[in-house]
Chain A
């Protein structure tokens, strides 16, 4: 079945540094891809999504491009802020399209 692998953390950066969190997937067909973010003590929120190859999702300065040839959906941000400290989850739709499959999460800690 479909699965997703994302880089393990924690990732520790200084404010204004460049961020990349790697995500690769294995899938049958053409799943939709997502990045969710979980701030401390809260539930998950959708950060961005892409529904087909070469789509670029973007939100709040974060970007990710659906790369079918490398089966990847890496999350990037040019200049992180302290407020970006959170856990980031890569996800994709399962083969039947009835649920989401999440990666294990990557903790990002940004210091000033």
Chain B
């Protein structure tokens, strides 16, 4: 079991460029989510999904798109990167209970993104 994997580990973009952060899990979890971690801000939820074909916005969705075509994958797209999106991005997954994450969420190792 690889758990939750994220690629790339590091990325540097120029303002206005687009890119996709990849996230995959092999635990057959229905619930997947994306967070960003900024100094002094903790983790903030960007988008989440409760199953294939279903996504919803979190606390800070602006500037990010997601899709969920399979149970395993949950990519995060930056359409036009801005310096304010410089952050560490974490993907997480869990099984589902009552429409939300069941207790423990499993986190990937993170992607450190710098936008110049």
Contacts and interface: CB of A to CB of B under 8 A. Distances in A.
Contacts of A32: 103
Contacts of A103: 42
A98 interface: yes
Chain A interface, >50% SS class: loop
B100 A93 contact: yes
B10 to A, nearest CB: 12
Contacts, number: 59
Interface in B40-84: 40-45, 48, 50, 56, 58
Interface in A62-112: 89, 93-94, 96-105
Chain B interface, >50% SS class: strand
Contacts of A93: 100-101
B99 A97 contact: yes
Nearest to B3: A43
Interface string A37-48: 000011111100
Contact of A98 (B4, B99, B103, B108): B99
A101 B60 CA distance: 12
Given A43-B108, A46-B104, A93-B100, A99 B48 contact: yes
The list of the 6 closest CB pairs from A to B, nearest first, reads: A43-B107, A97-B100, A104-B42, A98-B100, A102-B43, A46-B104
Interface of A: 32, 34, 41-46, 49, 51, 89, 93-94, 96-105
16 contacts: A32-B103, A34-B103, A43-B108, A43-B109, A44-B43, A44-B107, A46-B103, A89-B42, A96-B99, A96-B100, A97-B100, A98-B48, A98-B100, A99-B33, A99-B58, A104-B42
